[in-house]
Structure 1
């Protein structure tokens, strides 16, 4: 069991930035946004086969039916009693696995166009993780993006690099400087490490969190393939990301760089870009449903019913979901989560 890589698939969040298609009852990971299968199903597929153990999914109670409906054979599911961000979620998994197990932590809602490149990076990361490193996957940047955190490479080691520093989301000028300088990668939120390494580092840097999750797991119960941590113990755990709790504090951080056609599909403009690369029409347009585009450039229309006709538009996104209609510029798509409809879903 421990000679294989253990995929830990994190299913969290409400997906408000892809409203109105993504709703609380059926958020982004479980939608077929790129191809016939959902982002969650695609994540499971690229973390399966030779060298991989059956996945362990960490999700909230609300999403259990969706996870189990789209899950894979042998999958186990840890059901979070409350949303506590990525560090406690990963800690649940780390406490359910043998210490020497290599964990591959993957968000459930990312797109990777080149799964082979991903698997090669996994092999490199697993080798570093086996030696006691906490490994982040560094995504090769292709633009001065201000919506992602960055990781600066340090000295070359084995199959990767030491981490010089983690950098918060920069302003445009700083992001351009990073791209020009080289040696900076996007932090894609994908990690690899041994279970005991993560438990040790969490205990060093967030001892109360580490103890709280350990208590929740030790007092938890199995119900078939579902694991339920103790709700009272877990409810007292602080909410914090793995970046803040562990990765920015550990002295064991490493980086494996990879160019794999990655996107977090964090906005409608990001989804448009991914669809353009996959199957875009002329002039960069992308259409789903009954759509007619005339003299348009870089326009995406996604309609599940009414016919949508657009003339002379540039960099505009239109989404129709039932009775809800969203119209936004591509530049304004990052603000969709602020809309009343998205917040009240």
Structure 2
């Protein structure tokens, strides 16, 4: 189906909006400021950016993606989308990172002026989804609510008590929409005991940061609930430079945008929030522990990639990518990563603490 055919039909066209502003410091030293994790081949044969693009490519009712990134990664974004056999409808280059509320607003204002009925499927560029068909069933379930002006988020059915994710408390179903539910509350990343208690209720999902709503609805709620974000992004979009390949929002106007997430700015305040719970093999691949859990392991429950030998070990993740060869003996539950620009050695259970180490190292190396 062509874009024109879709726009003439009964259903609104869905524009994937891919957010690619993350630094990926939690996977240092493989992920670095110049090549954060969305541009790396961590699972399978395609990069995470390319996997994200592929989830909606060549599907009826979906437009070419809109990508929001930074000037630093402009060449990577364009090349990887092209290598994935796709083409972006627009690539927005943020003058500086201002978090997700502003990044989404740039796409929303641009889109609202071109297709008043357009829906936006907002996706981070660096998440893994194993069951793409379940994802699309969830999108189909969410569509009527989004077309009716709801801001729909996708709640990931939890598999364990996780302290690294926020949670969504799921309420009753919307009228005539049994798979779409009211949002009772958003819960901040909890300590372990609270996470276990939330899981025990059976009413909580992980907050995966994936959304479906119309450009019109997002702009309306942004202007009502976060007018400072709306004013800055509207002005930045109207004064943007568009050279046909990239859209560069006005830097001075965008600098006035508060750095705030969509959750804090909109979703926790709006009375239009809804949630579709879904089990789709989702992970934010946000730590070495998460990557270890996703990859196929050997008989020692370990993973070795590149010039690495893990002898008499168990539960290790050993990756050599451009760095010196690594040999381990009798190691258990460790992460060892060797690259040309850095080496990491740590217990796997400390994966959640790596951000501080990565930021300190990048600062020392002058790469932050």
| TM-score for the superposition, normalised by structure 1 | 0.96
Pairing of 1:1-345 with structure 2 (within 5 A): 1=3, 2=7, 3-50=12-59, 51-72=61-82, 73-75=86-88, 76-97=90-111, 98-157=115-174, 158=177, 159-275=179-295, 279-304=296-321, 305-339=323-357, 340-343=360-363, 344-345=366-367
Secondary structure of residue in 2 paired with 1:33 = coil
Alpha-carbon contact 2:29-2:341 (below 8 Å) kept: no
Deviation of 1:298 (Å): 1.5
Alpha-carbon contact 1:265-1:271 (below 8 Å) kept: yes
Could you tell which deviates more after superposition, 198-207 or 1-10? 1-10
Question: Structure 1 residues 286, 196: closer, same or farther in 2, change over 3 A?
Answer: same
Aligned residues between the structures: 342
Deviation of 1:313 (Å): 2.1
Residues 270-328 of structure 1 show CA distances to partners (whole Å, capped at 9, x for unaligned) of 111111xxx22123211111222223221110012433222222211100011521011
What do you get for the CA RMSD once the two structures are aligned?
1.3
Secondary structure of residue in 2 paired with 1:179 = helix
Deviation of 1:19 (Å): 0.7
Cα distance in 2 for residues equivalent to 1:144 and 1:309: 34
Cα distance in 1 for residues equivalent to 2:300 and 2:279: 25
Cα distance in 1 for residues equivalent to 2:42 and 2:362: 18
Deviation of 1:171 (Å): 1.0
| TM-score for the superposition, normalised by structure 2 | 0.90
Secondary structure of residue in 2 paired with 1:71 = helix
Gap runs ≥5 in structure 1: none
Deviation of 1:199 (Å): 0.3
Alpha-carbon contact 2:13-2:117 (below 8 Å) kept: no
Could you tell which deviates more after superposition, 313-322 or 330-339? 330-339
Cα distance in 2 for residues equivalent to 1:227 and 1:319: 37
Alpha-carbon contact 1:336-1:342 (below 8 Å) kept: no
Which 4+ stretches in 1 moved above 3 angstroms? none
Cα distance in 2 for residues equivalent to 1:47 and 1:197: 22
Could you tell which deviates more after superposition, 123-132 or 189-198? 123-132
Cα distance in 1 for residues equivalent to 2:122 and 2:285: 18
Secondary structure of residue in 2 paired with 1:204 = helix
